[in-house]
Each structure stands twice: as structure tokens, then as C-alpha cells.
Chains A and B, each alone.
Chain A
Amino acid sequence: MHQRLLPFAVAFVFAGCGGPTGDTPKGPTDLRKIAPGELRAPSDFAGIEDTRARSQALFLEASRVFTHPRCVNCHPNGDIPHQGMNMQLHDPPAVRGPESHGVVGMECTSCHQDKNQALTRVPGAPHWALAPLEMAWVGKSPREICEQMKDPKRNGGKSLAAIVEHNAHDALVGWGWHPGADREPVPGTQEQFGAIVAAWAESGAECPAEGARP
């Protein structure tokens, strides 16, 4: 019961006793309601007047993609990739290997091709591989992912512009929206996601508070 009441309580605190007025800055709780498979547009965040808060809210929106099993599964915090919405360990038993491409005889591309295999259900996309260990997302909060993503020592030496480009156009990232078979895609489209990440970068690339969740 307490969990059911919590959203109303939060809304009450943000809105004040009289509800939103023209004088009250919009907060993240005022965001447009969307279905689980949708992604908000940057314009949905325009009402958050505080730039830092808007940037944090944009990253939280993007983290609905970053923390989705479809993405996290190949950002393991150990040496074994995950698979499926339940994030079970990869079967057949594959391991990271020295360059995150698997080991001899069990390279990622021993089985995964440059596109999904419809008949066999083996997922595929160009340069299929694990993210390096320093980019592990399993078990990480949106803030931790944000901090890693901005850290050139842990993001492959990427600038913010390169991060935006990677998220907006990389083919392996794009697989998340077209996972094939009966796999659940990540929310929205890659174009919408790219726009959210770009808006986050343009608004200062602020990281959400620890504990903040989308």
C-alpha cells in the first residue's frame, strides 16, 4: 500500500498544496506519461527550468536504455556475458577473453554474425563483442554509468561529441532496437535515444544523484 501511495506523496511534495502554478518551476515528476516501450523527446524536458536538473533528468531518461538487459548483458562486471531479460549467464559458456572478444575457439564472432539469424535465433550485429570491463554496467546505478561514460579513461577516450555520435549511430548500439526473434527491444528508437543523449550533452552532461532512478 505504501508503495502505491508513494508517487502521490512525491507529486504532492513537488507540486505544493495548491498544485503547479505558472510560478512553480517544473520538476522531473511533471514529465509526460509514456508507455514502457516509448522514450520521451528532449522537448518533454524543456519545462525543467534549472539546466542542471534538466540535464540530470535527460540522463535518467537515457538510462532507461542504458540499464535495459538488452544493453547491460554485454556490459558485464565480470568475465561472462549475460543473456535474456533475466540476465542469465551466457549459454554456451562464453568468456570475455583478453580483448573482450572471447577466447580462441569461442570468439564472439565464432557464432554471432553481422546481423540477426532469423532461423537459428542467434543475435548478430556488426563488430559483436563485449564492452571492456571498465565499461561494466551490470549492477551500476544511472549515476555510476553516467560518470563512467564521461570519464575518458573508462570510455575509450571518447569526447562528449563522440559519445553522442556512438549512441546515435553505432550499429551494435542500434541492435538494441532490433534484437530479432522474440526479444524485447529497448525503449523508443535509436534516433530518439540519440536526441536525448545529445540534449543531455548540450545541457551540461550532468549526472543524476546517486539513488535517482528513471
Chain B
Amino acid sequence: MSVRIRVNGVEKTLDVDPDMPLLWALRDVLGLTGTKYGCGEALCGACSVHLDGQVVRACVTPVRRADGHAVTTIEGLSPDGSHPLQRAWVELGVPQCGYCQAGQIMTAAALLKAKPKPSDDEIEQSMAGNLCRCGTYARICAAIRKASGMPEGER
């Protein structure tokens, strides 16, 4: 089956099994390896990407669901790593091992687009499906607040 997807703003036509996980299509077919394989069961969030702006777990999303739609990966979040979240991530030194961070940033980006000034509860609820084995949660939340323009101590 031929699948047409707009990936990071570029039209792509893929000749793949329609039930192939979107994650495999991105990583193995298109070479976009910024999106990570974590659990493979939609439990950790490492593979989070945007499908028409909505966060999906690429490891369980069949590529057919993306047919005719737009997918954004961490590579497409900004052309030069200048998205406010990416800048905040660097400034606060958020990652430790870094494996989960692409998924964390993609979920946070969707959150800030929908809610430019999220409350702490909203941050917690939206980020609850993105796990970090290094435990960088406090820095992740701080970076989201920084990117949103909110003072870190504000509640």
C-alpha cells in the first residue's frame, strides 16, 4: 500500500504495510531517528510525535492512520533547534541520558500550543504519559514553565 504523509512539511510517499507502526516508518524508512523506541506499548511516551498537531504514540499508531495527514517529529519542531522549549531545555540542562527527551519535548510543545500558560496541574496531567528513567521531571516542568514565559517560582 502506498501511504502519503506530510512529514515535517515535506510530502512523502511510502510503500509500506499499512499496519506498520508509524515509528518504524519514521525511523527505518525515512531515517528520522530523533523519535525513540521505548516500550513499544504506548506506556512510556518516548515515541511521541504530532499527527495533525495531536500527540500520538508512534509505536502503536499504524502508518495508515497518518495517510493524507501531517506528522511532525522532533526534527521538524523548529528548523534550527530554536523552539522556546528547545532553548529552555538547553538553558536548564534538562536531559540526563536524554533518551526520552524528544518525546517529552513533543508533548510539551503540543501542550504550550493549546495552553500557552499552563497551570502546574495541567503540565502534570499532560506530561503524565512521558516517563523519564533518569528522573528529570523537576527540570522538565521548570523548562516548560520557562518556555511559557512564566517565572519559575510562580504558581
Which residues from chain A sit less than 8 Å from chain B, CB to CB? 92-95, 103-107, 109-111, 113-114, 117, 120-122
Contact = CB atoms under 8 A, between A and B. Distances in A.
Contacts of B127: 105
B56 A120 contact: no
B125 A95 contact: yes
Interface of B: 40-43, 48, 54-57, 59-62, 65, 107-108, 110-111, 114-115, 122, 125-130
Contacts of B48: 105, 110
Highest count of chain A CB atoms <10 Å: which of B57, B108, B111: B57
**Chain B binding surface SS class:** mixed
Given A92-B128, A113-B65, A114-B65, 13 more contacts: A103-B125, A103-B126, A104-B55, A105-B48, A105-B108, A105-B110, A105-B126, A105-B127, A106-B126, A106-B128, A110-B54, A122-B41, A122-B60
A171 to B, nearest CB: 16
Nearest to B53: A104
21 contacts: A93-B129, A103-B125, A104-B126, A105-B108, A105-B127, A106-B55, A106-B125, A106-B126, A106-B128, A107-B54, A110-B48, A110-B54, A110-B56, A110-B129, A111-B42, A113-B62, A114-B65, A120-B59, A120-B60, A121-B41, A122-B42
Given A93-B128, A109-B56, A120-B60, A104 B65 contact: no
Contacts of A106: 55, 125-126, 128-129
Nearest to A91: B43
A92 B60 contact: no
Contacts of A93: 128-129
B126 A120 contact: no
A138 to B, nearest CB: 20
Listed from nearest, the 6 A-B pairs whose CB atoms lie closest are A105-B126, A111-B42, A105-B107, A93-B128, A104-B114, A120-B41
A90 to B, nearest CB: 10
Q: Which of A93, A94, A105, A113 has the most CB of B within 10 A?
A: A105
Nearest to A95: B125
